[in-house]
Amino acid sequence: MTHTYQHRVRFRECDPMGIVYHVHYLDWFEVARTEALRELGVSYKSIEAAGTILPVTGLHAKYHLPARYDDEVLVETTCHLSQSGVRIRFEYEVKRKVDNALLVEGSVSLCFFDRGRSRPTPAPQRVIDVLRGESQSP
Interface residues with a second copy (CB under 8 A) are 10-12, 14-19, 21-23, 26-27, 30-31, 34, 43-45, 48, 53, 55-63, 66, 69-70
Q: Least CB distance from residue 129 to a second copy, whole Å?
A: 22
- DSSP per position, 73-96: EEEEEEEEE-TTSSEEEEEEEEEE
Minimum distance from residue 134 beta carbon to a second copy (Å): 26
The amino acid occupying position 64 is: H
CB of 65 to a second copy, least distance (A): 10
Q: Of 137, 133, 119, which Cα lies nearest the Cα of 55?
A: 119
- Which residues are 92's β-sheet partners? 77, 106
Closest to a second copy by CB, 61 or 74: 61
Is the CB of 48 or the CB of 129 nearer to a second copy?
Answer: 48
The answer to whether the CB of 106 falls within 8 A of the CB of 29 is yes
Residue 93: beta bridge partners?
76, 105
Q: Which is nearer to a second copy, 115 or 132 (CB)?
A: 115
